Amino acid sequence: MTITSNPIDKPGPSPGFFIAVKNYIEQAGFGSILEKVEAGHRLSLDDGLQLYHSHDILALGYLADIVRTRLNGDRAYFIYNQHINYSNICTNLCKFCAFGKEKGADKAYEMTVEEVRQKYLDQVPLARGCAYDDVANAMVFLCLDASSYITGQALNIDGGQTMH
């Protein structure tokens, strides 16, 4: 696939747009990287460092979009994040934290496994990337002594959402 044509064969920008993008990427100093990306070759460490040190977010975005389009076609993937605070009880009670409460305090709470499950099910979209069992297993682990090194009181759930 080259950048001189519409890579997804659907109505969209004119061929002139893709030529302008190619010229822009080359002017940004990424001509050799563009050649590798178009050919589907892996980039070298030096290529990666050049991209990393670049401040040209537009050129970087164009290069990334070439790879994204080759891999995924006309699909975009989004992440649906949830942050379930199953408890605000904390033993550290840091001076700067307004969230943590002592067990037994007026505003202290702990959710049951069923409450966490229901909150999860209420908030998760269809086509989620993880199942209830994944969350339940994480919750069980957090209740074990083996998880005592974890100092947070929240469970972050990431599930993929595909948009066409």
Q: What is the pLDDT of residues 78-135, one digit of tens each?
A: 566 677 888 888 888 888 888 889 999 999 999 988 888 888 777 765 544 456 666 6
Residues 97 and 139: their CA atoms lie apart, in Å, by 23
User: Do residue 135 and residue 152 come from a single domain?
Assistant: yes
Tokens 């990337």 appear where?
Answer: 129
pLDDT at residue 130, rounded to an integer = 57
147 and 81 together in one domain: yes
How high is the pLDDT of residue 131? 60
Q: What percent of the chain has pLDDT over 70?
A: 63
**In whole angstroms, how far apart are CA 46 and each of 53, 54, 89?**
11, 12, 48
Clarify whether residues 83 and 38 are in a common domain.
Answer: no
Q: Which residue has the higher pLDDT, 8 or 54?
A: 54
Contact 3, 22 (CB under 8 A): yes
HSE (side-chain half, CA atoms, 13 Å) at 97: 13
Q: How confident is the model at residue 54 (pLDDT cuts 50, 70, 90)?
A: very high
- For residue 86, give the nearest of 108, 67, 102 by alpha carbon: 108
Three-class HEC string of 60-71:
HHHHHHHHHHHH
Quote the number of domains for the chain.
2
Same domain membership, residue 58 and residue 109: no
Domain that holds residue 141: 76-163
- Average pLDDT of the residues of the chain: 76
Residues 80 and 67 in one domain: no
Do 85 and 154 lie in one domain? The reply is yes
Q: Is 119 among the domain residues? A: yes
**Residue 47, domain member (yes or no):** yes
